[in-house]
Structure 1
Amino acid sequence: MDKTAGPVHVGRVGAAYRSGSVLLLADVEASGGGLHFGTKGLGAEISLNNPGNPTFHLDGLSLGYSRPPLTIAGALVRRNMGKDYSLAVGGMAVVQTPAVNVTAMGFYAQKISGDPSLFCFGVLDLSRTSAGPPMFRLEKLAAGFGYHTQVRTPHIAEVRHFPFVKMLTATESVDDPLKQLDILLGGGWVTPASGEMWLAAGMEALVYELVDVSGVAIVQFGNELVAGLYGHAVAQFPKRPAMPWAELAVDVRAEYRSSSDALEIDAAVTDTSFVLDRNCKLTGGAAVRLWFGRSAHPGEFVVSVGGYHPKFVVPPHYPRPARLGFDWHLSDAIHAWGSCYAALTPHAFMAGINANLHGQWDSASVDASVYADALVEWDPFYFKVDWGGRISGTVWGITAEVGADGHVWGPPVGGVARVKIGRFGINVDFGADDPGDRVKLSPQDFRDRMLPGGIRPHGAPAAAGTAGSQDAKVVTLTASMGLLPSAPVSGTTEQTTAPAAGASWAFGVQEFACRVTTAVPLTSVRVNEVDILEGITRKTLDIRPMKATGISSSMKITVKHKETEVAAPVGPVPADSSMWGATLDVRGVPAALWDTTPMTFGGSGLVGGYASAITLTPPPASYTRKSLIPAKAVRRRSSIGMVAEKMARNYTCKNNDRLPAMSEKQLANVSATTAKQTRIAFLEALKALDIPGFSMDNLTQGLKENVFENGASGYVDALPQILEG
Structure 2
Amino acid sequence: MVVGNFEPPFDELDVLWVSADLTQPELDILNQKAFAGHSPLLYQKNVKAQPDAEKISKPPVLLQSGCHFQVLLHESSDPTLVLDYAFRKSKQSPQDDRDGKLIHLPPATGDSGEPAAVQGDTVVAPLTKTSGPLSVRSISVKATSASRIVITIDGSVTLGPVGLALLGFAVGLDFATVKNPSQLMNAKPDFSLDGMAVVFDRAPVRLAGLFSRTAKQEGAEYRGGIAITVGSWSAIAMGAYEELRTYKSLFAFGVIQGPLVEFGCAEIKGVAGGFGYNSHLTLSDVDHVTNFPLVAMNKGLAEPKGDIMLQLIELTSGPGMQCITPEKDSLWLAAGISIKALQVLDVLAVLALDPSSDPKFGLIAEATAIIPKGVDREKAFVVIELHLIAVVDPGHGLLTVTGQLTPRSYILSPSCSVTSGFCIAYFFEGSGHEGDWVLSIGGYHPGFQVPAHYPPTPPRLGISWVYDNELSIRGEAYFAITPAACMGGGRLDAVFSTGRTKATFSAYTNFLMYFRPFHFQSEIGVSVYASTVIGWRWFSVEIQVEISAMLELHGPPIAVVAHLHFWFLEISVRFGPDSPGVPRLTTSQFLAMIKQAENDEEAARVEDHLFSIQRGEIANDQNLVKKDPVLEEHVVRASQLQLNIQSRFPILDAACNNKPAAIQNFDSIFISPMQIASPVTTSTLKVIVTETDTNNYPAFSCTPIIKKIPSMMWKKYEGDINPSSLGNSTNKTFAMGIMIEPEKSAPSNEGLAAYSVIKFSSESIFHPVPEIKSLETAQMTVFLDSQSSQNDEMTRQRVKQIFGDSQVGVAQQNVLDCWSLFKARYTGGGWQFASPKPSPASKATMPPDINAMLRDRFAQALPVILG
Report the TM range for the smaller structure's normalisation.
0.5 to 0.7
1:187 Cα deviation from its structure 2 partner: 4.7
Give yes or no for contact 1:92–1:104 (8 Å, CA) kept in 2. yes
Give yes or no for contact 2:557–2:577 (8 Å, CA) kept in 1. yes
Q: Which has the larger radius of gyration?
A: 2
Change (3 A) 1:361 1:10: closer
Matches within 5 A, 1:670-689: none
Change (3 A) 1:502 1:78: same
3-state SS of 2:316 partner? helix
Give yes or no for contact 1:375–1:384 (8 Å, CA) kept in 2. yes
Whether 1:583 aligns to 2:704 is yes
1:125 Cα deviation from its structure 2 partner: 0.4
Whether 1:601 aligns to 2:737 is no
Matches within 5 A, 1:400-415: 400-410=545-555, 414-415=559-560
Deviation by residue 1:556-607 (Cα, 9 ceiling, x = unmatched):
21245677655467xxxxxxxxx72321434225736999862442463577
Give yes or no for contact 1:288–1:303 (8 Å, CA) kept in 2. yes
Whether 1:506 aligns to 2:630 is no
1:142 Cα deviation from its structure 2 partner: 0.4
Whether 1:335 aligns to 2:472 is yes
Change (3 A) 1:96 1:550: closer
1:165 Cα deviation from its structure 2 partner: 0.8
Give 2:44's aligned residue.
none
Choose from 383, 390, 402 the match for 1:266: 402
Whether 1:188 aligns to 2:327 is no
Change (3 A) 1:240 1:376: farther
Change (3 A) 1:506 1:103: same
Give yes or no for contact 2:443–2:478 (8 Å, CA) kept in 1. yes
Give yes or no for contact 2:164–2:197 (8 Å, CA) kept in 1. yes
Whether 1:386 aligns to 2:523 is yes
Letter in 2 for 1:516: I
Whether 1:478 aligns to 2:612 is yes
Give 2:797's aligned residue.
none
Give yes or no for contact 1:184–1:190 (8 Å, CA) kept in 2. no
Whether 1:623 aligns to 2:747 is yes
1:373 Cα deviation from its structure 2 partner: 1.6
Give 1:96's aligned residue.
229
3-state SS of 1:406 partner? strand
Whether 1:451 aligns to 2:595 is yes
**Hey, which of these two has a bigger chunk of strand by percent?**
1
Change (3 A) 1:535 1:342: farther
Runs of 5+ consecutive residues of structure 1 not aligned to the other structure? 13-26, 44-56, 493-497, 570-578, 627-651, 675-700, 707-725
Change (3 A) 1:622 1:560: farther
3-state SS of 2:408 partner? coil
Whether 1:398 aligns to 2:531 is no
Letter in 2 for 1:604: N
Letter in 2 for 1:153: L
Q: What is the TM-score with the length of structure 1 in the denominator?
A: 0.67
Matches within 5 A, 1:563-582: 565=695, 567=697, 580-582=701-703
3-state SS of 1:93 partner? strand
Letter in 2 for 1:225: P
Using CA pairs under 8 Å that are at least 6 residues apart, name the structure with larger relative contact order, 1 or 2. 1
Give 1:119's aligned residue.
251
Matches within 5 A, 1:648-663: 654-655=754-755
Deviation by residue 1:491-519 (Cα, 9 ceiling, x = unmatched):
x9xxxxx999402312644xx63211234
Change (3 A) 1:210 1:524: farther
Tell me, in whole angstroms, the C-alpha distance in 2 between the residues paired with 1:624 and 1:109: 53
1:252 Cα deviation from its structure 2 partner: 1.5
Matches within 5 A, 1:168-567: 168-170=298-300, 171-172=302-303, 175-176=308-309, 178-183=312-317, 187-222=321-356, 224-241=358-375, 243-257=379-393, 260-318=396-454, 319-378=456-515, 381-396=518-533, 397-410=542-555, 414-430=559-575, 443=588, 451=595, 471-472=606-607, 474-480=608-614, 482-483=615-616, 485-487=618-620, 501-506=632-637, 508-509=639-640, 513-522=642-651, 525-529=654-658, 534-535=664-665, 554-559=684-689, 565=695, 567=697
Change (3 A) 1:3 1:291: same
Change (3 A) 1:566 1:168: same
Give yes or no for contact 1:307–1:320 (8 Å, CA) kept in 2. yes
3-state SS of 2:389 partner? strand
Change (3 A) 1:447 1:362: same
Give 1:3's aligned residue.
3
3-state SS of 1:601 partner? helix
Change (3 A) 1:224 1:2: farther
Whether 1:150 aligns to 2:280 is yes
Give 1:166's aligned residue.
296
Letter in 2 for 1:216: V
Deviation by residue 1:94-127 (Cα, 9 ceiling, x = unmatched):
343445322211223344x54432222111102x
Letter in 1 for 2:664: E
3-state SS of 1:131 partner? strand
Which deviates further from its counterpart, 653-662 or 610-619? Answer: 653-662
Deviation by residue 1:353-384 (Cα, 9 ceiling, x = unmatched):
12222222222221221222211111564422
1:186 Cα deviation from its structure 2 partner: 8.8
Which deviates further from its counterpart, 193-202 or 240-249? Answer: 240-249
Q: How much is the aligned-residue C-alpha RMSD, in angstroms?
A: 5.1
1:81 Cα deviation from its structure 2 partner: 3.0
Give 2:22's aligned residue.
none
Tell me, in whole angstroms, the C-alpha distance in 2 between the residues paired with 1:30 and 1:314: 55
Change (3 A) 1:152 1:76: same
1:199 Cα deviation from its structure 2 partner: 0.6
Letter in 2 for 1:428: V
What percentage of aligned pairs have identical amino acids?
21
1:272 Cα deviation from its structure 2 partner: 0.9
Tell me, in whole angstroms, the C-alpha distance in 1 between the residues paired with 2:202 and 2:709: 69
Number of corresponding residues: 584
Letter in 1 for 2:385: A
1:335 Cα deviation from its structure 2 partner: 2.2
Deviation by residue 1:250-301 (Cα, 9 ceiling, x = unmatched):
2222224456443333222211111222211122322233333323544443
Give yes or no for contact 2:590–2:674 (8 Å, CA) kept in 1. no
Tell me, in whole angstroms, the C-alpha distance in 2 between the residues paired with 1:557 and 1:147: 49
Give yes or no for contact 1:2–1:10 (8 Å, CA) kept in 2. no
Deviation by residue 1:630-674 (Cα, 9 ceiling, x = unmatched):
xxxxxxxxxxxxxxxxxxxxxx983579997799x99xx9x9x99
Change (3 A) 1:499 1:357: closer
Give yes or no for contact 2:293–2:321 (8 Å, CA) kept in 1. no
Runs of 5+ consecutive residues of structure 2 not aligned to the other structure? 6-131, 136-154, 171-191, 534-541, 764-768, 775-779, 784-811, 819-867
Give yes or no for contact 1:169–1:204 (8 Å, CA) kept in 2. no
3-state SS of 1:193 partner? strand
Give yes or no for contact 1:90–1:181 (8 Å, CA) kept in 2. no
Give yes or no for contact 1:478–1:515 (8 Å, CA) kept in 2. yes
Tell me, in whole angstroms, the C-alpha distance in 2 between the residues paired with 1:358 and 1:42: 55
Change (3 A) 1:449 1:224: closer
Give 1:20's aligned residue.
none
Change (3 A) 1:582 1:561: farther
3-state SS of 1:591 partner? coil
Letter in 2 for 1:502: E
Q: What is the TM-score with the length of structure 2 in the denominator?
A: 0.57
Change (3 A) 1:431 1:139: farther
Change (3 A) 1:592 1:175: farther
